[in-house]
Amino acid sequence: MQAGIPSGEDRLVMLDDLLLSRKDTLIDSISIDSEFVFSDKPAHCPHCHHNKIGGVFVMGAYMGNLLWECDKCESMFLRFKKDETEEYLQAAKGAWTNPFDWRYVPKSEFN
């Protein structure tokens, strides 16, 4: 296992799993609780003060946790600035819609 692979309380999701609505930007289409950036995993949920916060690892977006999520109230929080997060989410979208962008392409697919 390499660094950046989700473990423990972290969960691995597809971008589509996060999209609740279709807004102009992906970041606005997922439910982010505030624009405050937590570069490190918050010790307590800013909302309900629950002390179990997990990371959200979005496939194809960023090799590490992209968001934080409260285990209790399920609020999600930013790890990166909003526009930066949007860029990562856009990358995930590209990965999903174009299979050739995927990192792991079977050797037989190459000419």
Subset of 40-59 contacting Zn ion (CB under 5 A) = 45, 47-48, 50
Closer residue to Zn ion in complex, CB, 75/85: 75
* Beta carbon nearer to Zn ion, 45 or 92: 45
54 three-state secondary structure: strand
The answer to whether 73 contacts Zn ion (rule: CB under 5 A) is yes
Burial grade of 109 (CB within 10 A; 0-12, 13-18, 19 or more): exposed
Nearest distance from C-beta of residue 41 to Zn ion, angstroms: 13
Pick one of 27, 30, 58, 70: the residue that binds Zn ion (CB under 5 A).
70
- Amino acid identity at 44: H
Are residues 91 and 103 in contact, defined by beta-carbon separation less than 8 angstroms? no
12 CB neighbour count, 10 Å cutoff: 13
Longest dimension (CA), the chain: 54
Residue 17 DSSP code = H
Q: Which stretch binds Zn ion (CB under 5 A): 14-22, 68-76, 82-90, 96-104?
A: 68-76
Window contacting Zn ion (CB under 5 A); options: 3-11, 31-39, 63-71, 88-96 = 63-71
Contact positions toward Zn ion, by CB under 5 A?
45, 47-48, 50, 70, 72-73
